[in-house]
Structure 1
Amino acid sequence: MTLYLGIDDTDTRESRGTGRLARAIAAELARRYTVTGVTRHQLFVHPAVPYTSHNSSAVIHIQEGENGAAADVFATAKELMLADFIEGSDPGICVAAGRTIDGTLHRFGLAAKTSIVTQEEARRLARNAGILLEGLGGTEDGVIGALAGVGLAASGNDGRFVQKGTTRDLRGSQTVAAILASGVDRVSTRDGKTVSEGIVTLRKFPKPAFIEGNAVLFVEADGDAYRDIVVG
């Protein structure tokens, strides 16, 4: 069973981003748990919605290994977030086990991508499902994105990985074999053709999309090689 740890609204324009904080928390949790990745989930961009730059939340995927893991993960992440609290941010944190996440939470996540949703909705859904959700400062609006991110991540069909295996170690031109060995499940063109060999020129490092529970790096032809496409 997978535990999903969602965080949102932890930064300001002048500070480190939520993704960086999520990776730091993932590194700490990896001391005791198997962390399988960190995903980024895009939420609604609208003048009525406060956000720092792109209005995205981050979700850490953890293999649940023991009873009480959810409470321990929540407490550990909360402590790290409070220790790195940025004035002017409105952070929220959510932890849920896959078995507690149903279609209602997924629909909330989808709604948060296309419309304005509220703290009250988020808190009510979490309370009804017995999911850990808390605001850690400011307006606490981060609870919205934290819960939405968890619902989206649990669907296995939203966002992209900003950390998966050793993907962040890859730069420049890499073989498909090296990309697959780093933790990417599949390399594919946008029309669904699997790419099993060749060279891929990376914009930065592989950022595979989260598709049907897999990390899929999309590429397009570039002369005799390929270049990656950021999707999700």
Structure 2
Amino acid sequence: MTRHQLYVHEDIPYTSHNSCGVIHICEENPRIAAYVFSLAQDMMLDDFIDGSDPGVAVALTEQIAPSLVAYGRDAQHTILDQIRARTLARNLNIPLLGLGGTEDGVIGAMAGLALASTRNDGRFLQLGKIRDFTGPSTVEELLAGGIDEVWNIAGPRVTSGTVQNPEGKSPKACPVNGRAILFVEERDGELFPIKRD
């Protein structure tokens, strides 16, 4: 699961940071996609924040067109409306549904599909066992738990040491060319994770 940051602007109502979450399905199967769409819809209706405007969409890789990727990038720096989101969904045959409030959540749902498809945006919220690692963790543990590589923000790859993740917080790796990369910085000889969107 990845989180993607959208445009934060006073004219855009949002409940928490205007971001969207995307569940990645490895199986390219229309029946599984339809099942996940239904399941996500039910789960979101059961557990969304009052006052929010959730939306849900699901797409196979073949449905992610350049026009959708452009839309996702626009959603990171421009105010968009539902019309463009719904038009894209209809033209690309992508199931899309607003689940409450103004239904503006369809904007973020479509943007999330686009941004996740680039494999170079956002950060992982769930991947392998990374949520099990709260507090300081060794690089070796993180690599065994699902992170592909650890890189110092100043350049070199990190292969050993302990990442001083805050207590109660799991590391937030980023998708980089489809790989889960945890960025760290060295301060006073210790490694600290860098939060990136």
What TM-score comes out, normalization by structure 1 length?
Answer: 0.80
Aligned-residue sequence identity (percent) comes to: 50
Matching residue's letter, 2:123: R
- Partners of 1:205 and 1:156 in 2: CA distance: 21
Gaps of 5+ in 2: none
Q: Secondary structure at the match of 2:184?
A: strand
Q: Does 1:226 align with 2:191?
A: yes
Determine which of 135, 138, 142 is the counterpart of 1:175.
138
Judge which range, 216-225 or 112-121, deviates more.
216-225
Matching residue's letter, 1:121: R
- Partners of 2:30 and 2:54 in 1: CA distance: 27
Corresponding residue for 1:25?
Answer: none
- Partners of 1:51 and 1:67 in 2: CA distance: 31
Matching residue's letter, 2:177: E
Judge which range, 103-112 or 83-92, deviates more.
83-92
Runs of 4+ displaced beyond 6 Å? none
Matching residue's letter, 1:153: A
Gaps of 5+ in 1: 1-37
Q: Matches of residues 15-94 of structure 1 in structure 2 within 5 Å?
A: 38-64=1-27, 66-94=29-57
Distance 1:126 1:195, change over 3 A: same
Aligned residue pairs, count = 195
- Partners of 1:230 and 1:180 in 2: CA distance: 18
- Partners of 1:63 and 1:41 in 2: CA distance: 19
Corresponding residue for 1:198?
Answer: 161
What TM-score comes out, normalization by structure 2 length?
Answer: 0.94
**Greater share of residues in strand:** 1
Query: What is the CA-CA distance between 1:192 and the residue it aligns to?
Result: 3.5
Query: What is the CA-CA distance between 1:190 and the residue it aligns to?
Result: 1.6
State the superposition RMSD in angstroms. Answer: 1.3
Q: Does 1:116 align with 2:79?
A: yes
